[in-house]
Copies of this chain bind each other. A is one copy, B any other.
Amino acid sequence: MQDQPVATTKEKPSRKAHDAHVDLIAVVVAMTDQGPGILTVGQPNTALPSGPFELGHRSLQFGLRAWVEQQTGHQLGYIEQLYTFADRDRLGEQRQQRVISISYLALTRVEHSAASRKPAWRSWYDYFPWEDHRSGAPAVVGDILQPRLLAWAEGAAHVPVRRERRQRAAIAFGFDGRDWNEELVLQRYELLYEAALVEEATRSEQSASLPIAGTSMIADHRRILATGIARLRSKIKYRPVVFELMPPVFTLLQLQRTVEALSGRLLHKPNFRRLIEQHELVEETGETTADTVGRPAKLFRFRHAVLDERVVAGTKLPLSRA
């Protein structure tokens, strides 16, 4: 590594002029009794843990860990980067400055210890009630969102724009008999934002419009949360990340319930079990549950060896024989 990491062919203007403030933001996910939980801060639980990146931080990830620990008392395990974006910020005077926000997705387990600090876990469906399709499509989708989105679409001045809005809404929310796609979390939030159906969209306006859908969050934290949920819903399909959320030992139904909570959809039990066992993701412990009801279930643990053996995902390109 060099001291001057970027040498462009052009002149380098004086640096101070465009230096930026860097914020780290965490979407921390764990399974709670109330469903898929995210770690929140602030009094009405409307913010994600976050804080500025400081010179004392050894790296971006260390800075993130430090802030989350300081603000919630929770220690992070698995972390991956989500997205980086920039906004204009205003300093005390007239001068403007940049704010760079670097967001991360973290997966952990809740500690049931009697620790001094109780981290504030909230179900992510509090913020995105339209995302939980485990009991079929929620009423809010057909009763409220669909008519409002269509009204918004028809409100466009030009025909092609109307058509495009209708189509985007139909794809994102599964209107007109289309399938629900649980991965389109961000697209759905963005549509609701554009249609001013979420509180965040009406902040800059004078129009004290009707905040309709779900609990809102400060700044753009809910958009970041949407990004995190989308990433996780996509990733559980091709990489064994669910196990970061599971206790060391679990039954297959517990595993299934977790995947269902994350994806917001019900799964087919026999086929789910075969899928897991066929991929050799788990191994029996030999124990069974002393469950209160029903036949005792075998207990399993994650086969950590799979992380070494395979790289999990397969091809999809029709390779020719070597």
The residues of A with any CB-CB pair to B shorter than 8 Å are 1-10, 12-13, 15, 17-23, 25, 41-42, 47, 49-55, 59-60, 67, 70-71, 81, 83-87, 89-91, 96-102, 136, 167, 171, 181, 183-184, 203-204, 218-220, 236-238, 259, 263, 265-269, 271-272, 275, 308, 311, 313, 315-322
What is the CA–CA distance of A52 and B25 in the complex, to the nearest angstrom?
23
Copies in the complex: 2
What is the CA–CA distance of A270 and B13 in the complex, to the nearest angstrom?
55
In the complex, what's the smallest C-beta–C-beta distance from A311 to chain B, in angstroms? 6
Assess the B21–A15 pair: CB atoms within 8 A.
Answer: yes
Partner of A3, one of B89, B269, B319: B89
Assess the A1–B100 pair: CB atoms within 8 A.
Answer: no
Cβ–Cβ < 8 Å partners of A237 in chain B? 315-317
In the complex, what's the smallest C-beta–C-beta distance from A4 to chain B, in angstroms? 7
What is the CA–CA distance of A101 and B5 in the complex, to the nearest angstrom?
9
What is the CA–CA distance of A318 and B259 in the complex, to the nearest angstrom?
11
Assess the A266–B320 pair: CB atoms within 8 A.
Answer: yes
In the complex, what's the smallest C-beta–C-beta distance from A218 to chain B, in angstroms? 6
In the complex, what's the smallest C-beta–C-beta distance from A179 to chain B, in angstroms? 9
What is the CA–CA distance of A275 and B318 in the complex, to the nearest angstrom?
8
In the complex, what's the smallest C-beta–C-beta distance from A142 to chain B, in angstroms? 14
Cβ–Cβ < 8 Å partners of A50 in chain B? 6, 8
What is the CA–CA distance of A49 and B9 in the complex, to the nearest angstrom?
9
Assess the B53–A18 pair: CB atoms within 8 A.
Answer: yes
Assess the A271–B318 pair: CB atoms within 8 A.
Answer: yes
Cβ–Cβ < 8 Å partners of A1 in chain B? 87, 203-204, 219-220
Cβ–Cβ < 8 Å partners of A102 in chain B? 84, 100
Assess the B41–A9 pair: CB atoms within 8 A.
Answer: yes
In the complex, what's the smallest C-beta–C-beta distance from A38 to chain B, in angstroms? 16
Assess the B5–A181 pair: CB atoms within 8 A.
Answer: no
In the complex, what's the smallest C-beta–C-beta distance from A241 to chain B, in angstroms? 14
Assess the B52–A13 pair: CB atoms within 8 A.
Answer: yes
Residue on B nearest A322 in the bound complex, by CB: B136
What is the CA–CA distance of A204 and B2 in the complex, to the nearest angstrom?
8
Cβ–Cβ < 8 Å partners of A8 in chain B? 41, 47, 49-51, 67, 71
Assess the A263–B317 pair: CB atoms within 8 A.
Answer: yes
Do A98 and B55 contact each other (CB < 8 Å), given the known contacts A50-B6, A318-B275?
yes
In the complex, what's the smallest C-beta–C-beta distance from A29 to chain B, in angstroms? 18
Assess the B267–A317 pair: CB atoms within 8 A.
Answer: yes
In the complex, what's the smallest C-beta–C-beta distance from A296 to chain B, in angstroms? 24
Assess the B5–A318 pair: CB atoms within 8 A.
Answer: no
Do A311 and B19 contact each other (CB < 8 Å), given the known contacts A25-B6, A89-B5?
no
Partner of A19, one of B9, B21, B85: B21
In the complex, what's the smallest C-beta–C-beta distance from A224 to chain B, in angstroms? 10
Assess the A20–B23 pair: CB atoms within 8 A.
Answer: no
Assess the B171–A90 pair: CB atoms within 8 A.
Answer: no
What is the CA–CA distance of A67 and B6 in the complex, to the nearest angstrom?
13
